[in-house]
Amino acid sequence: MHEWALAEAVIATATKIAEQEGLKQVTEVTVKIGEMQDVERGIFRFALTQLKPENFRNTKFLLTKSKASFKCRICGNTWLFKKTKLDKETAEAIHFVPEVAHTYIKCPKCGSPDFEILEGRGVWLESIKGAK
């Protein structure tokens, strides 16, 4: 449900960019959704359509998915995030604040929590198209 808060952020940002670029109508907004945050797409899409302003009347919202991958700063190992390996509570904590992954996930090779989130963290406004 906190998907609404994120959808609101997307609309606010897309609105601002449309203004800056002088777009009268916004036709397409692409949002990349990182696997870690695991935003519920149905709710997110619904929230976007409910929150959109007038000049987004005909906007198509494209939601793309980005796999989450990590790179260990200690041993250099890279690996993929697997939500299925987490218990429900941990997955939910990461859903709210992906950074707490550093609390619960360790490098499978060396056990370090000091890894970089290469991609797939959260919600990202990828592109916006429209007519001037």
Partner 1 sequence: MADPRVNIIDKRLKNIRRIIAVSSGKGGVGKSMVATTLALSLVKRGCKVGLFDLDFTSPSTHIILGAEGVQPCEEKGLIPPVVHGLEYMSLVYYSGNHAAPLRGADTSNALIELLAVTLWSDLDYLVIDMPPGIGDAVLDLIRFVKRIEFLVVTTSSQLAFETVKKLGGLLQELGVPVLGVVENMKMTESTNLQQQTEALGLKFLAGIPYDPKVEAAIGDAENLLKTEVARKVKAIAQTV
Binding residues for partner 1, rule: CB under 8 A, are: 1-2, 4-6, 8-10, 12-14, 16-17, 31, 47, 93-94, 96-100, 102-104, 113-114, 117, 121-128
Least spacing, CB of residue 82 vs partner 1, in Å:
19
User: Of Zn ion, partner 1, none, which one sits near residue 77, judging by CB under 5 to 8 A according to partner kind?
Assistant: Zn ion
Residue 69 or 77: which CB sits closer to Zn ion? 77
The DSSP result for 1-22, as a single string, is: -THHHHHHHHHHHHHHHHHHTT
Amino acid at 92: E
Answer with the entry of Zn ion, partner 1, none that 109 interacts with (C-beta below 5 to 8 A by kind). Zn ion
Please give the single-letter amino acid code of residue 27: T
Binding site for Zn ion (CB under 5 A): 72, 74-75, 77, 107, 109-110, 112
Decide which of Zn ion, partner 1, none touches 18; Cβ closer than 5 to 8 Å per partner kind: none
Considering the complex, what minimum distance in angstroms separates the CB of residue 61 from partner 1?
13
Q: What does each C-alpha distance from 118 to 1, 62, 74 come to in angstroms? A: 26, 22, 15
Exposure string over 61-100, b if 16+ CB within 10 A, otherwise e = bebeebebbbebeeeeeebebeeeebeeebeebbbeebee
